[in-house]
Each structure stands twice: as structure tokens, then as C-alpha cells.
Amino acid sequence: GYSITLVLETMKTFSVEDGLTEEALVTKLRTCQYHHLLLHTSLKHNASGTCRWGEFGEGGLLWGECSARHFDWFEGDPVSDLLFKVKELYGLDDDINFRNITVHSEKRPRPLHLGTATQIGAIPTEGIPCLLKVLLPSNCTGLPVLYVRDLLLNPPAYEIASTLQAACKLMSNVTCSIPEFTCVSAAKLVKLLELREANHIEFCRIKHVVDEILHMYKNSELNEILKLLMDPTWVATGLKIDFEMLVNECEWISCRIGEIISLEGENDQKISSCPMIPGDFFEDMESSWKGRVKRLHIEEASSEVDGAAEALSLAVTEDFLPIVSRIKASTAPLGGPKGEILYVLVDEICRGTETAKGTCIAGSIVETLDTIGCLGIVSTHLHGLFNLSLNTRNTAYKAMGTEYIKGQTKPTWKLIDGICRESLAFETALNEGIPQKIIQRAEELYVSVYAGDTKLEQLSSGSNTNCSVETRDTLSRVKMGISHGEIDSWNRTEILRKEVGNAVTTICQRKLIEFYKQKTTSVLAEVNCIVIGAREQPPPSTIGASTVYVIIRPNKKLYVGETDDLAGRVHAHRSKEGMQNASFIYFIVPGKSMACQLETLLINQLPNQG
């Protein structure tokens, strides 16, 4: 007969079934799901020594089934060579072992003929109803249906069939309540656990499964049924374990999960609340995660959230309630106390006039409001305000934070300290339907007219405290009249590269020092920026290391990112149009989490460095 080897990459298992008829083999191919089909070269040679294969030669049942599918030929040992091929296909290490879950087929009935399987609808066939839909209750779906279908298509040995029948008889006579019998795909679960992507819901399902096993174990009526199910489970999974070991492991798993996650009805974390803030706000912010993992294991994060909620409540109470009170006082009934509103909101001040004079008028207004001492916010795109010598004592500069995601600058809607000289004009115009071609030309015009002048103006004004002696010498040569073309070709790029490196070092050094202080370690926190010039690649030391990098794009804009595959990321960036000669500055950091933090920090802080 024929032999088929089934390999499950997720579970790291394999099984071999032999003595199959051609019909049984085709039935298996039609009912099992697989990603790759490999045919052994022995199929090409039948007993007559011809090159036609299949019981009936070309046009036979197996030949027709395989010809309609994608398959590859292979030769060698049908087990060891196949496992090697699987490791190659999925990129698995050679030392990974696959567990043999073969259940020997002695004394097993033969699988159903293809015609029989088709006529009872076990194999979906147009116009033929499925027998299982008649036999099983309507709420029986998913994995149980597949299990019963497999019992029909591949009947187990007599001893296993008798055991299943005995379990069903006992179950039909129990008088106690029974578990829900949670069904979880073992392969899916293993994959999620291996990738560390199993969430609160998946762990709850695992606990449900093991608790249901313990329920049956502790119940005198169900205990015998649980024992009877051990051998059928072995046949289905190839995993033969001792009954007491199963119970002990289930108790341990249930206890461990119960220590970490909050189960139904448990909640050791309340949603934050404040009389002055709508409850829906805190509900939206916290309900998706609070009460899932017990606070004991996320104390630091929970404390940060509690602190943020208190700070928000305090800000609302101190900053907004006085305004409400003043408004109520100013609109009090006749004869009641009157108040005066001293909170000013000014949006886009003096934008309706010529920019230079409008900027000066706006500056004078800011000075006046500062002198009066009123509370208020002035929002503006007149960046020239930051170059005026304003006489202010109480004015603080704030900007909206941004982050760079997939090549786009997006607002974080968070207020941060500092001055913002940029805008989202190009991004906003694109989102509002302005054609991409117009936006690209606008960016070119902006770079040609403003970018270089702004950069040199900032450098010469001394706004960057990290400006090196070499940089100042270069600038002095620029002022003395060296041609524009000469400095553009090399010096400007070098100036910018050095400046970016200095800024990155300054910003990230502080963060790393804080990190190592918290770790109470004597390791020296040092940011060592390394440049990858045009036509250069990162060194082998970056393989597998977490790195933060900054790209100096040809238009002098900066791109900040983090990765564990710097060589791959450099290649990906340079494969884009116009980026073939882009320069990179990178440094290695301790782990992915720190890399993400420093990436966000640089995106927010580099604009403040000019």
C-alpha cells in the first residue's frame, strides 16, 4: 500500500501512516489542511518499471488528485529527509527535534472508501448533505465536528472505539453538572505562546481547559469518564502521559495563571474617577486593560496611570474650575456678584496682514498680555516671533509633540516644552486632497528657499550649544564669501552630520544615565554614534543588536527609527527612490524596549535642537 508522512511544524510533531489504499490516500489529501505537498520519487515507478505512477497509471485517482495541486518531488528517506526539508522551508535550526506521534495501525479498520466518504458528506460535495449535521446538535461546531469526522474517515482500533463508546454511555447517565468543555486549537495556542502573543483571553481559555479537567477529576461521576478519555487522547495527539501527571500539571497551570491574571468577577483595579471629569473619559482610557493582569505584576505602570489621573484631576480643578466660576459670576442674575474673565485664547494672531509687521504686532500683544498677568494661550505659525527680543517674564514656550510613523509626521496631541519652527502644512494639504505632484513641488521650493538659510541662520546665531570649533570655522568661511557651490558639495552635509551626532548624543545620554541609575549598575552609559556613509554598510557587530538610527536624507530632512536588523533596514531605505546615497548615524542600545523609548525621545527632542 501507500505511506503518508504528516509533519506539523507548529507542534514539532510527525506521524507516519502506511498500508493505505489509493482511495484512502486521496481521502486524506482532501480532508487535511497542508501548506506543502511533497511526493516521493518512488511514486514514479510502478511494478512494471514504467515512469507512469498511480494504481492506474497516468489518469489514475492519485495522479489526478496531485496533478490538480502544487507539489514538489523529493527523494531519500521519507521521514528524516522530509523533516530536513521542513526545517529548511520554515527556517528552523538543525538541532530542533520533532516528536514522533505515530499510532501503529495494527488491528485498525481500513479508512472509508472515497465514494463512501463523499456520499455521507464527510468530504464536502455539492448537492450531498453532510451526515454529521444530522447526527450532531446544531450548537456543535468547530473542533468537535472535525474530531468526529476524523473518527468516521479513519476509524480507530477496536479497543479505542470501545473506550469512546463506554465514555459516551457513562456521560449519558451522569446526574451531576458537567464542564463546558472549552475547545482550543493546540497548534494555534502553541504558536501564540511561542511568539509571546497570547493575551488575557487566551490564558483564560487555557485555565478553563485545565479547570474543567480538574472538575472531572474531583467529581466521582466524571472521574471515570476522564480516565477513559486518556487513551483516545493519546491516539489523537500521540502524547501518552500518566493520569496523575496530567492532573498535577493541570493544578500547577491553573494556579500559575490564577496568580497573574484577573478572572471573571475578580478586579483589584478600579477605573479612575474625578467629580469634574466625565466618567466616560476614564472608561475609554482604562477599561481595555485594567482588571486583566493583577496589579501586583504591573505596579509601576499602574502607579504611573494613577499619578497621571491625579495630575489631570488637579489641572482641571485648578485651571478650569476658576474659569467656570468666573463665567457663572459674570452671567449672574441682576443684583448678583459680577466677575471678570482673565483667561485669553488667541488663535493665529495677526495672520491677515504682511508677515513681518504682523509678527511684530503679535509680539507686542504677547508682551502686553504678559505684563497684565492674565492666564492664556497664544497659538501661531509666525515663527519669526521666536527671533524677537520680547520683554516677558511669565511667558512659557510650548509646542505640540509629533512622531514619525511609516514616512509620515503625525501629531501626538500632547503639549511639550520647547519651540516648534515646523508645521504639518504639507501633510495637511495632502490629507485634504491636494495632488501629490503639487506637494512634492512645494517641498522642493521650500527646501531651495528656506531650509538652507534657516539652518545657517540658526548655526550663526549660536542657538546650538554643541556647535564644534570646526563648525564655527566653516561658518566663518561662509561669511567671508566662499562660493555657495563649494560648501554645498561637502561642508554643509558634514556640518549637519556632526550637529545631528552631537544632538543625538546629548539627548540620549541623559536617558541612558537615568536608565542605568534605576538598574543600580556600574555599567557606563555611553552613546557611541557611528556614521554609515554613502555606499557603506553597518558592521557585523550590529547583527541581532537593538539599534537606534537617524537618516540624513538628500533633502536634509531627518528620519529616526529603531531596529534589530540594521543591515536589512539600511538596504530597505536605500532601495527607495532618491535614497541610494543616504547617510546614517546609529548607536547600539540595551534592548528593544530602550530602543523604542529613545526613538520617540529623538523624534520629540531633535526639533528643539534646531
Domain boundaries defined on the chain: 2-111, 173-259, 267-316, 343-422, 492-608
The CATH superfamily label for domain 343-422 reads: P-loop containing nucleotide triphosphate hydrolases (3.40.50.300)
What DSSP letter does each residue of 89-135 carry, written as one string?
HHT--TTPPPEE-----TTPPPPPPHHHHHHTTSS-BTTB--HHHHH
Continuous segment of H or E residues that includes residue 31: helix 22-31
Q: What single-letter DSSP state applies at residue 487?
A: I
Half-sphere exposure of residue 313, counting CA atoms within 13 Å on the CB side?
Answer: 14
The alpha-carbon radius of gyration of the chain (Å, integer) is 35
pLDDT at 426: 80
pLDDT at 225: 93
Q: What is the pLDDT of residues 479-522, one digit of tens each?
A: 333 334 444 445 677 778 888 888 898 888 888 887 777 665 55
Residue corresponding to grid cell 514538489: 72
pLDDT at 47: 52
Q: Determine the Cα–Cα distance for residues 566 and 40; give it in Å rounded to an integer.
A: 41
pLDDT at 534: 73
Amino acid at 297: H
Q: Determine the Cα–Cα distance for residues 155 and 112; give it in Å rounded to an integer.
A: 8
Give strand pairing partners of 346: 378
Q: What are phi and psi of 109, to 5 degrees?
A: -65, 155
Report residue 274 as a C-alpha cell: 474625578
- Residue pair 231/160 in contact (Cβ under 8 Å)? The answer is yes
- Residue 213: pLDDT band with limits 50, 70, 90: very high
pLDDT at 327 over 70: no
pLDDT at 470: 38
Rounded percentage of the chain residues whose pLDDT exceeds 70: 85
CA 152 to chain centre: 41
pLDDT at 59: 59
- Residue pair 37/66 in contact (Cβ under 8 Å)? The answer is yes
pLDDT at 188: 84
pLDDT at 482: 36
Q: Determine the Cα–Cα distance for residues 439 and 424; give it in Å rounded to an integer.
A: 12
- Residue pair 11/187 in contact (Cβ under 8 Å)? The answer is yes
Q: Which of 174-183, 447-456, 524-533 has the lowest mean pLDDT?
A: 447-456
Whether the model clears a pTM of 0.85, i.e. scores above it, the answer is no
CA 398 to chain centre: 31
pLDDT at 524 over 80: no
- Residue 550: pLDDT band with limits 50, 70, 90: very high
Find the mean pLDDT for residues 99-108.
78
- Residue 209: pLDDT band with limits 50, 70, 90: very high
